[in-house]
Amino acid sequence: MSSEVERLRIELSRRISELELRVEKLEKDLEALSKISELSWRIAQLESSAQRFLTHSRNSLLTLPALEEELNEYFGDLKELIATLEDAGMPVDWGFIRRSASRVLKAAKEAGISFSLFANLMVEKLGDYAAKIVDEKIVGRIYGLAELEHWRKLMGK
């Protein structure tokens, strides 16, 4: 009888351990799901900021300070997306981020924003990330070689 009780106790302990492992796995999966939701929201915010800036850059009635504020918001959203990805231990898709920033860079040029202002705001808001975000070929094509050299000096190259 005592061996039967012992066998049942061992079996019960094993099953409880299995259930605890399953619960832990579900908790991790739930945490990952919430991170995916947050990342989706951050990407949507970034694209919304980019689209708003693109729209405003074509509006001749907006002032430079208003466009500068839109750029600041875009760079802030970009930084939050990068931080969220890094906090989640996920790789940052720099290509996606460069494409988004390149569209905004082109809109800034069309709106008459100087590259110096664009670059200074970016470095101020994004710090070391700025070097990874800016595609130098795009800077040269949109703003010219003189501004590309300015960017390289700003990045210490």
Mean pLDDT estimate for the chain? 88
The pLDDT score that the predictor gives to residue 143 is 94
Q: Is 37 exposed, middle or buried (0-12, 13-18, 19+ CB in 10 A)?
A: exposed
Residue 128, in any domain of the structure? yes
Number of domains into which the chain is organized: 1
Residue 4, in any domain of the structure? no
In which band, very low, low, confident or very high, does the pLDDT at 1 lie, cut at 50, 70 and 90? low
Cβ proximity of 56 and 72 under 8 Å: no
Tell me the average pLDDT across 102-114: 92
pLDDT digits (tens, 9 = 90+) for 54-70: 888 888 877 888 889 99
Residue 92, in any domain of the structure? yes
In which band, very low, low, confident or very high, does the pLDDT at 141 lie, cut at 50, 70 and 90? very high
**Tokens, residue 148:** 């590309």
Residue 22, in any domain of the structure? no
Helices (H) and strands (E) in the chain, counts: 7, 0
Range of the domain at 62: 35-154
Residue 13, in any domain of the structure? no
pLDDT digits (tens, 9 = 90+) for 66-81: 889 999 999 999 999 9
The pLDDT score that the predictor gives to residue 144 is 92
